[in-house]
Chains A and B, each alone.
Chain A
């Protein structure tokens, strides 16, 4: 073996090897990316498939074969659902109850979060520990006693009864408290020097400085209330008062199973929250990460 391998040769060899390994790394990276994209397609497919089925006439739906796009695009399923079911009523019910829950929870949580964060009053510690402890108690375990309580107030089968137990929101209070804690003391002192009362501090300084978090919490509370199944299912027996999540499970056609229509009514139920998510994606993401952080 000659010892006269020139330095140029050596560096050329190393260079080539490095280039090859780079390419190899890229290949693995490419595979991962492709796999992720395929995964996303697979994940989105069920929703797509449900959606596309709603645009097919029923005879097409029950035909053998997989048609990824309707041969006959139709809106008749939606038409039927909108006209023949109580979906309009259910939308309104959902809107009312979800809206009420959102407004009440946000106001209550902001006030309580502020008080615990900024004020000093007796039993403050105990309230805080109570809130933290309440995580462990599962709300579904309380359904029996919520039902008893609501019936004592004669609120079973009313929208107010649906709203009631949903107002328990320890996570929201905790998030507000933490955000209010993080407002630098300087702002508070400056506002106090300017003569602001505690209420003015809350509404003109602390809340406006945390507007983003209020929006995020409101959106996530709304979505949660809209999607709730168990409690509204228990609390309401008359179809007229159902919220939409419960209502669509009660749709039974007199003519046997109508796949496209069942799916159409489901799609209509999902539409508002899906839209809210797509529009407010960032806020929803933020709210979820916050609430998860609290639970950890």
Chain B
């Protein structure tokens, strides 16, 4: 299911475009007839679980993987047959791939040295980049002597010095510990804000995509599931895959029966008997569906409250300080509920859950949102 890019208004040609690309490894087809565009100056994330093809797409843009069929355009030029070095792009690898036998300065200036630039120019440009990334004190050190965050910055510096049309990032934060990851996320966002260069970012971490990107392409097994801004994907997921993948803790799902559909409202029968009204856009004729509701759209109420959709028993409580996560055993299975930080609840307690029907969605048999 290849969705057309959901862009509002922008009529300019895309900066990077993959047009109907297919990737085959011998008898295995990993990606088939996929098209996606990246706008100039945007931060576009390719998001999906392992094996969804996001890295393959990135590498096809880079020229590290051959495109079996289809084309790749960068700034309007067909680069499908061009070697990587001529595509005017730069890549930051997951493992950074810093040359261990060279100093930071030499690492950063490597592409210039390969091109035969005089030493003076190499040193100047390396210094310039080092200043931007606060790497000046480390210019004469070897990668082995640097911390993870510093190494990452050197990797970015190596890409930066080439003044590319676009940056490609292949899961650059996966090798960092949690705290460092948050810090580097901020630095990457700042870098993008400062430079304004197009960035294409591959990750499996939806938090990274949500916080950094202005456009996210969600991929599922080689196929585009949905394209949109973070909030669009969060609030209006086109299918169950996107709904489940985005958001943490993830959306709750359970099966429901549809009593009736009139116009843009479906009357849904919850297990337990209560009915709710959920907005839909399609789905005439559907008798049953899956209902998805995010943890923060479930509220804890007294079990005897008439507005409660279900009652359930609290199994586990997680106190995060700013919020509280409850794992509640209900007739429809385990539901995850997110509430205020000072939520009073006890393990084993029976509570009622109220459903915010404005934020619940129905998903049909194919997974598409109704």
Contact = CB atoms under 8 A, between A and B. Distances in A.
B36 to A, nearest CB: 21
B328 interface: no
Contacts of B115: 195
Interface in A192-236: 192-197, 200, 204-205, 208-209, 211
A209 B99 CA distance: 8
Interface string B56-81: 00000010100000000000000000
A194 B97 contact: no
Interface string B160-180: 001000000000000000000
Contacts of B110: 191, 194, 196
Interface in A143-202: 184, 186-187, 189-197, 200
A122 B244 CA distance: 49
Interface in B69-115: 83-85, 89-91, 93-95, 97, 99-101, 110-111, 114-115
Given A195-B114, A196-B114, A186 B85 contact: no
B95 A193 contact: no
Contacts of A196: 85, 110, 114
B64 A189 contact: yes
Contact of A190 (B83, B89, B93): B93
B100 A194 contact: no
A8 B89 CA distance: 79
Contacts of B94: 186
A139 B90 CA distance: 51
B23 interface: no
A288 B100 CA distance: 26
A194 B95 contact: no
Given A186-B97, A189-B97, A205-B99, A195 B91 contact: no
A190 B91 contact: yes
Contacts of A197: 114
Nearest to B85: A195
A52 to B, nearest CB: 46
B158 interface: yes
Contacts of B162: 194
A194 B62 contact: no
Contacts of B97: 184, 186-187, 189-190
Contact of B85 (A192, A205, A208, A209): A192
A194 B93 contact: no
A279 B145 CA distance: 28
A184 B94 CA distance: 12
Contacts of A211: 101
Given A193-B111, A195-B85, A209-B99, 4 more contacts: A189-B97, A190-B158, A191-B110, A195-B114
5 contacts: A184-B95, A187-B99, A192-B83, A193-B91, A196-B114
Interface of A: 184, 186-187, 189-197, 200, 204-205, 208-209, 211
